[in-house]
């Protein structure tokens, strides 16, 4: 399957590396920066005449079936619409967009064209989320009603980067990973959110990089997401630490380990570490497997843009709640 890779920064290179053992060939590349072009050619020995300055030229001079979009979020709509117009499937980096209306237009365009549009929410393909999703399906802790996710990280500390200078970037860039995990693991969608954001005195972000967000999820479940993006002490993993409470016990993520605990007045009190379900591939490679197989099978992939819009809108609703300092309903934002 031939593809066009749009954007040749560091993240794009990680996708090139993980696609090496896939039935994928990038036969055209798009990058306007001469410095990035030169660096990419030196690293991957790609012929310079296969790197183009525009997507339209790359489409014209390749036999691609899909586009992989590794551009900044504000460019995603232009890339996707041009690809769909040319009849090409699209796999794009998260977030779907930094503009909610643009995201909705992209979803509508993919549906109209009948093409696959997948977003790279690779966190949900890890062993901990996959195993926890299965355990909840099996009812090992009864019906979950409360979830707390904590995330402490010295996150995005490069001076001048957009992660540091723009507002609410921890919610927009990291939050979308965890919010998507909540939806996947629990099989529930957000109904409303109440959020408060701040920066501690030592924080290095211009926009708030700490928050507490309380989500009311479908089925009455309450999920709390608590984050400190400029932690100078204990750090969690990028997955965060989780506590999922049910009527018969809890599932917790503690570092890189998953535990089931049955305690107060449960049938078999005790605590056990869970051996994670074996995954053949890491998150990025699993994303590519899902993308390729969905095209071959003629089906919508996991993390398709229409579904991913429900994860993205959680970030917009969280920011809106922080600004208004009140609960914000999620459903109207999807209309």
Q: Dump pLDDT digits (tens) for 152-169.
A: 999 999 999 999 999 999
Instruction: Note whether residue 165 is domain-resident.
Output: yes
The answer to whether residue 310 scores a pLDDT higher than 90 is yes
Domain boundary among 74, 103, 119: 119
Mark whether 51 and 170 lie in a shared domain: no
- What integer pLDDT is reported at residue 120 of this predicted model? 96
Tell me the per-residue pLDDT of 228-240, one tens digit each, with 9 for 90 and over.
999 999 999 999 9
How far apart are alpha carbons 71 and 69 in whole angstroms? Answer: 6
Distant-in-sequence, close-in-space partners of 204: CB < 8 Å, separation ≥ 6: 157, 159, 164, 230
Read off the pTM: 0.95
pLDDT digits (tens, 9 = 90+) for 170-229: 999 999 999 999 999 999 999 999 999 999 999 999 999 999 999 999 999 999 999 999
Does 207 fall in a domain?
yes
- Give a yes or no: residue 295 inside a domain: no
Residue 185 phi/psi, 5-degree rounding, is -65, -40
Residue where a domain stops, chosen among 70, 98, 119? 119
Note whether residue 51 is domain-resident. yes
Last residue within a domain, chosen from 77, 104, 119: 119
Angle at 151 between CA 204 and CA 156, to 5 degrees: 30
pLDDT the model gives residue 122: 93
My answer on whether 319 and 212 are in the same domain is yes
Same domain, 94 and 227: no
In a shared domain, residues 108 and 130: no
Is 325 found in the same domain as 238?
yes
Share of the chain above pLDDT 70, in %: 99
Instruction: Let me know: does 253 contact 128? Beta carbons within 8 Å.
Output: yes
pLDDT score recorded for residue 23: 82
Q: Is 303 contained in some domain?
A: no
Query: Quick check: 280 pLDDT over 70?
Result: no
Clarify whether residues 36 and 167 are in a common domain. Answer: no
Residues 114 and 165 in one domain: no
pLDDT in tens, 45-60: 999 999 999 999 999 9
Return the residue matching tokens 């600004």: 323
Domain check: are 114 and 217 in the same one? no
Residue 289: inside a domain, yes or no? no
Q: Is the domain of 171 the same as that of 131?
A: yes
Whether residue 176 is found in the same domain as residue 323: yes
Tokens 């459903």 identify what position?
Answer: 331
Task: Count how many domains the chain has.
Answer: 2
Sign of CA dihedral 213, 162, 238, 180: positive
Domain that holds residue 325: 126-280+312-334
133's CB contacts (< 8 A; 6+ apart) are: 184, 185, 187
**Longest alpha-carbon distance in the chain:** 69
Q: Is 143 in the same domain as 252?
A: yes
Q: Is the dihedral of CA 21, 26, 27, 31 positive or negative?
A: negative
């Amino acid at each position: 399957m031939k593809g066009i890779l749009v954007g040749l920064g560091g993240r794009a290179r990680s996708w090139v590396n993980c696609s090496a053992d896939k039935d994928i060939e990038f036969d055209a590349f798009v990058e306007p920066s001469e410095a990035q072009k030169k660096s990419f050619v030196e690293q991957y020995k790609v012929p310079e005449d296969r790197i183009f300055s525009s997507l339209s030229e790359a489409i014209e001079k390749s036999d691609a079936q899909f586009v992989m979009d590794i551009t900044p979020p504000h460019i995603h709509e232009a890339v996707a619409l041009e690809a769909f117009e040319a009849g090409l499937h699209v796999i794009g980096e998260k977030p779907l967009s930094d503009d909610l209306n643009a995201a909705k237009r992209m979803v509508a365009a993919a549906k109209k064209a009948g093409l696959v549009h997948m977003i790279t929410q690779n966190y949900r393909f890890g062993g901990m989320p996959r195993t926890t999703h299965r355990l909840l399906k099996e009812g090992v802790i009864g019906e979950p009603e409360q979830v707390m996710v904590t995330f402490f990280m010295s996150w995005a500390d490069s001076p001048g980067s957009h992660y540091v200078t723009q507002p609410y970037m921890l919610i927009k860039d990291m939050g979308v990973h965890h919010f998507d995990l909540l939806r996947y693991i629990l099989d529930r969608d957000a109904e409303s959110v109440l959020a408060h954001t701040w920066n501690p005195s030592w924080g290095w972000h211009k926009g708030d990089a700490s928050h507490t967000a309380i989500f009311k999820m479908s089925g009455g479940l309450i999920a709390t997401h608590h984050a400190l993006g400029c932690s100078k002490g204990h750090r969690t993993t990028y997955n965060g630490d989780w506590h999922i409470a049910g009527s018969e016990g809890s599932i917790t993520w503690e570092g890189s380990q998953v535990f089931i605990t049955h305690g107060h007045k449960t049938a078999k009190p005790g605590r056990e570490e869970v051996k994670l379900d074996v995954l053949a591939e890491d998150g990025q490679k699993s994303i590519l497997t899902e993308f390729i197989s969905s095209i071959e099978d003629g089906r919508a992939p996991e993390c398709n843009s229409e579904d991913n819009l429900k994860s993205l809108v959680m970030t917009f609703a969280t920011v809106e709640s922080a600004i208004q300092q009140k609960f914000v309903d999620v459903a109207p934002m999807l209309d």
